[in-house]
Structure 1
């Protein structure tokens, strides 16, 4: 089988590379010529550990090619994965315009049986809509199946998750479609769940919503830990040792961000609203997350008073380490609030870049921690990059106007920082 990946973004590029690594012949299709030309040259346009080496490997091996010729790509490939974006609309719903366009392109150019697979994260019922869109666009009637095969990739760990997944979910209405997908994944050793397309689509949303709920739960609990003088890290450790709970996603901080959790939780809430179902727990998950970064800023204000004309350094801009993704990043919300309060902001991140709207005179950006700490009244750690743990904090303290350290990820050792002379506060952790 020849595989076509439509959409060479984060999910599409990772999917294409992993199938090539598994030995399949893969074509990546995108409408952006510059993006395709870069990929052909082995140049990855986003940061994800391990993918750049694999891109060079498989563009050289001949198992992976990239094109902008959608008609030929659709004709020449048997299995077509839809990996285009589904951004949120203002009301929280998923924008399916790109999925619809791909479905119509497939219908127009298909020349025989095709297995069409939704890899993009889409609302429940999208498989049925794609089926209709393909049929309505067909110039000549050809048989096809539409299946759902959601991705479960963590940014920063995408290659590991794709090569060694904890499960593969296949949502298909026909045995032929599910059989083909199981054949594609035959070399992967993990549980395979075969179910209906609607169930597969909901599994994706439900998984991300539950993980978001764990994060908001521990963040809200951390707010209680501060007045109780209890260490949230020890509470989370004690909870996480219970196999029914587990330790993952129990790290208190300034909230979740990225391209998945905020978007998927909002879409699931909207689906429930449309069906007159109240998901009260999930709504509270969102409410906690939208205010968690303010909890850190309250700590800063309690220490510094007004933030006007204060020099505030931020360590970390990306929503998590090992990625350059700043979508829905808590650090961005913090910067926006600091600017509204007329603070001077200095930011250090090893890979993420400032968005255009934050490139203003009162914001300075550097990859050098020393530069951003010069004369600072406080430093806020917003992303737990390993480089920040390994800094010479004794030397850095002397560069600051006032050695105030607010650890938004509970990443540093509170006792050590205090011994070094910092005023240290974390989230439910001192």
Structure 2
């Protein structure tokens, strides 16, 4: 028997059982979709995590741990051990090689959402994802002292619109020490969803942050002193200190030189970190979820191949006559094994192809929705090394899963009264 004859025979046999095999192919396609889908989500989830801030060359803050600085400066988690004097921010702007500096001031909140004091340069220079700038979904940037620009999640969860009046509170998270009820803000803009901590942030100007605390000292309101909102407008609201700063360079090749200058800064103890390096360190700490997704991928593949083997084994009784005839005309064990493994490999090829096509269609159709509602950026891209190994493993497993049914078919043909060819 020639190989071409066996391929033709396998095709005609498969067509004769097309309904059953169609279900098997759909099962393999679904398993491929789930396996590669989980891997794609895992890969893009790490990419989204790593791109919470992009386009920023250095993050500068008081001396602390690199992960702690990253957590409160980018993810608004935790609190700084100290602040940076405003004179240090001005000195940073004068360092050779520095293109821009965006100061960040934290410490207040609104109904559990963090409040960030910054400048309008934040909207010009902050990038996320693949160097994507911040966009306004509605309204404008803050212009008046008591204007606020809120993230998409703040707006959606609290039902806020442009023109909404809000009150900020001193303290972070759900624990607020005191409301700044005497100085209400007006929402003038809502940012488009980014899938980053920006979505959960209320943005105000640095001068507004100062106005909130002109009658405060050491985190407490001064007894017997009260400055109204209008009186605060007439005061000097030059910031005295900020929490951290984002720094962009004229040439990224100078990043280590500038980092060294910051770390050796003589005015006060400062440290600077590279966001990408710190994000990788943080991911190593919280990477248990990634390992869980990889385990899930392996289990999906195992269930898929077990299903393929079960379907082929279940269909053997329907093919006993066909296999007996093949043995009668001289088909050897090798021919029977080759026939069934070829069928299994063909089914796996077709199923994986359909699964890849279905995954690509879903990424194209659902990608914008997932970005808008869940902040997860899924992209069509070249297969990663892991995805290539998974596809190769699927094809190999499909071939191996057909070996047991092939051996079982040979044993059944002997049980039907045929003798092996000598």
Tell me the TM-score normalised to structure 2 length: 0.21
Structure with the bigger percentage of helix:
2
Which protein has greater RCO, CA pairs closer than 8 Å, 6+ apart? 2
